[in-house]
């Protein structure tokens, strides 16, 4: 089955912009009603100061080029909503910027001290860490500068090839995009707080800012105990929910008058501590800090595919691009597209632009009659899949931990939500484990 393969975290994509612009200007906020009722959209983008012809060219380019969705927000209101912006796709390495948010909350509360060392925290791994490696701090992990080059879960082939040999650099001496650092942050968070990263995100972020499509089941952990003691976490999220997450950072951590993240944490997180030696620019605390023309201050979360969450402080833009990696699709990073969006704004917005509710699809019918007969384990070529009850329907869990709801197509045939595969479940009365058959993958 193809879907599970693409939850693996791989290389990121570049983004560029300059660290200039007024960072103290008042940012447009999403209202309380929008948090509870959903996004509002500009009825006429011209009223927001954007050129209609320029936006039409962007729509044409999107339709021809193949990303799954493009979602653009200007001053807290939707400017463009193209493609499947409600569909949850794998976030891949965007997960790291998500981890930043729950760390920020607990650093602000004084629960987590970024200066504590691995030695003080009792952190080790399958191949024991050296005394020197144990001097790495939480701050070094956030910056991906720990100097611990132990194998890691979700480490790709390119990461393995680029990983320095153990002991080559000390803590803070060298930047390397290190899944060991990111995964170890998950272990430390669970040790120092009442919950894990994914649970904290659901309670402290997703609920607080009103994510519309995200559910607890859309995050999971994955641990390969033959490689490392520290698990990776993975998320599925829609374009419109990622935009809302980016809006929280654009609003300096404020939401409906409540401080969720401090201005100081966001400043530290989006400051570059490393020149990565690539067009991606610098690296902060789990955020990329790119550098290019256009005199824009921005920061970005990126993942394989190309998944992009780009936050541009001035002119208060959020750009989200999603690609369907469940089907193995990819789309080249396209800085020119993002520049076109920025340059489409040609004049100041009107004083009172008109807004309309963002259109959305109705939820599918999750009800499955006689669902008990489908519960259980099913074998496929890559391992065992588990089907369990979930609310009024069923949920399937992949061997790698990814979870998705099932939508009944006909009899024992089901569409796997988000992943987009049609499967058939069959059981033999003489066996406890049934058989899963992949019928087709749907775009």
Q: Where are the domains of the chain?
A: 9-361, 371-441
Q: What is the pLDDT of residue 290?
A: 79
Q: How far apart are CA 95 and CA 401, in angstroms?
A: 15
**pLDDT of 325 strictly over 70:** yes
Give pLDDT tens digits for 86-105.
999 999 999 999 999 999 99
Q: State residue 109 phi and psi, 5-degree precision.
A: -80, -10
pLDDT tens, position by position, 34-78: 655 789 999 999 999 999 999 999 999 999 887 899 999 999 999
Number of CB atoms found within 10 A of residue 283's CB: 24
Whole-structure pTM value: 0.90
pLDDT digits (tens, 9 = 90+) for 207-230: 999 999 999 999 999 999 999 999
Measured in degrees and rounded to the nearest 5, phi and psi for residue 205 equal -115, -60
Output 3 or 157, whichever has higher pLDDT: 157
433: closest CA among 380, 370, 371? 380
Domain 9-361 is found in CATH 3.40.50.10890: no
């Amino acid at each position: 089955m193809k879907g599970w393969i693409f939850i693996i975290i791989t290389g990121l994509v570049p983004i560029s912009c300059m660290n200039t612009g007024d960072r103290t200007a008042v940012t447009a906020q999403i209202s309380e009603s929008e948090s509870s009722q959903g996004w509002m959209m500009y009825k006429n983008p011209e009223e927001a100061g954007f050129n209609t012809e320029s936006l039409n060219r962007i729509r044409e380019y999107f339709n021809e080029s193949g990303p799954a969705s493009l979602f653009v927000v200007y001053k807290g209101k939707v400017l463009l909503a193209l493609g499947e912006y409600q569909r949850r796709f794998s976030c891949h390495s965007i997960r790291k910027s998500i981890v930043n948010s729950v760390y920020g909350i607990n650093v602000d509360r004084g629960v987590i001290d970024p200066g504590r060392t691995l030695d003080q925290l009792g952190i080790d791994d399958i191949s024991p860490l050296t005394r020197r490696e144990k001097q790495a701090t939480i701050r070094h992990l956030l910056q991906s500068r720990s100097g611990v080059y132990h194998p890691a879960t979700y480490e790709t082939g390119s990461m393995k090839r680029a990983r320095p040999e153990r002991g080559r650099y000390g803590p803070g001496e060298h930047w390397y995009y290190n899944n060991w650092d990111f995964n170890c942050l998950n272990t430390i968070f669970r040790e120092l707080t009442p919950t894990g990263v994914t649970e904290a995100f659901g309670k402290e972020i997703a609920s607080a800012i009103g994510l519309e499509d995200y559910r607890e089941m859309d995050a999971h952990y994955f641990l390969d105990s033959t490689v490392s003691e520290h698990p990776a976490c993975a998320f599925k999220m829609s374009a419109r929910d990622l935009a809302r997450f980016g809006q929280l950072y654009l609003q300096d951590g404020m939401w409906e008058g409540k401080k969720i993240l401090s201005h100081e944490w966001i400043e530290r997180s989006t400051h570059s501590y490393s020149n990565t030696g690539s067009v991606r620019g610098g690296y902060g605390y789990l955020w990329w800090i790119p550098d290019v023309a256009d005199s824009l201050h921005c920061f970005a979360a990126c993942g394989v595919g190309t998944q992009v969450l780009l936050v541009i402080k001035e002119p208060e833009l959020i750009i989200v691009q999603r690609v369907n990696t469940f089907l193995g699709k990819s789309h080249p990073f396209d800085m020119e597209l993002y520049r076109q969006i920025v340059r489409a704004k040609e004049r100041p917005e009107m004083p009172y632009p008109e807004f309309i509710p963002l259109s959305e699809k109705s939820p599918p019918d999750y009800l499955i009659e006689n669902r008990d007969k489908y519960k259980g384990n099913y074998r496929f070529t890559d391992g065992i899949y588990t089907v369990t009850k979930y609310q009024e329907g069923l949920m399937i869990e992949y061997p790698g931990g990814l979870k998705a709801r099932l939508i009944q197509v006909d009899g024992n045939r089901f569409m796997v939500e988000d992943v987009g595969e049609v499967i058939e479940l069959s059981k033999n009365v003489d066996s406890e484990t049934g058989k899963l058959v992949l019928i087709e993958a749907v775009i």
